[in-house]
Amino acid sequence: MSLQNLINSLESLNELNEKLLQLSEHKKQAILNNDFDELTRTTMGESGLLKAIKNQEAVRQEMAHAFMREKGIKSHLDLTISEISRLVFEPEEKARLLNAQKMLVSTLRELKRANDLNQNLVSQSLSFIDFSLNLLVGEEESTYTRPDQSPTVRTPKRNGIFDARA
């Protein structure tokens, strides 16, 4: 019975991560469309899902410990699913456990790929904003003077269109 609970917790964890993956696609579209409101909504949705995933992960750990207690193992080590599967001798149950693990790993890999893509998109957007600001304002020349010399009054040259000093 505890093995079925462990499999159910893995499947629930996978469903939550699939929802997070769907939100990452919405987030990508929001970044590409410069839709700040949608980006805010998806970020808030991600926060809620992350809390649910954290709770489900605690359930999964408890189910793994319950399974080990059922098998007579009194250790509270955090064993991996692969290690736990060595304790399952029924081929059908072992296959279901490993299939649930495989699905979760696949979803997590896809989620990582989507998060890396979104991170690159945000980084490129910030670089473009920085480049645009530098075109408008221009970069300020460095005005380093030696500490033993009195600073001369001079105005820094700016190459930009917009004078931000005003």
Question: If we measure between CA atoms, which residue out of 93, 102, 13, 1 comes closest to residue 57?
Answer: 13
Question: If we measure between CA atoms, which residue out of 101, 110, 88 comes closest to residue 3?
Answer: 88
Cα distances (Å, whole numbers) of residue 106 to 111, 113, 124, 148: 9, 11, 27, 64
Q: Residue 84 carries which side chain, given as an amino acid letter?
A: I
* Tokens encoding 18: 């699939």
Domains in the chain, ordered, with CATH? 1-121 (1.20.58.300)
What 120-129 contacts at long range (C-beta under 8 Å, 24+ apart), as own/partner pairs, is 121/28, 121/31, 121/32, 122/31, 125/31, 125/34
Cα distances (Å, whole numbers) of residue 134 to 112, 154, 160, 163: 33, 21, 7, 11
pLDDT values of the chain reduced to their tens digit, one per residue, 166 residues:
789 999 999 999 999 999 999 999 999 999 999 899 999 999 999 999 999 999 999 999 999 999 989 888 887 778 889 888 988 899 999 999 999 999 999 999 999 999 999 999 999 999 998 888 888 887 665 566 677 766 555 555 556 666 655 5
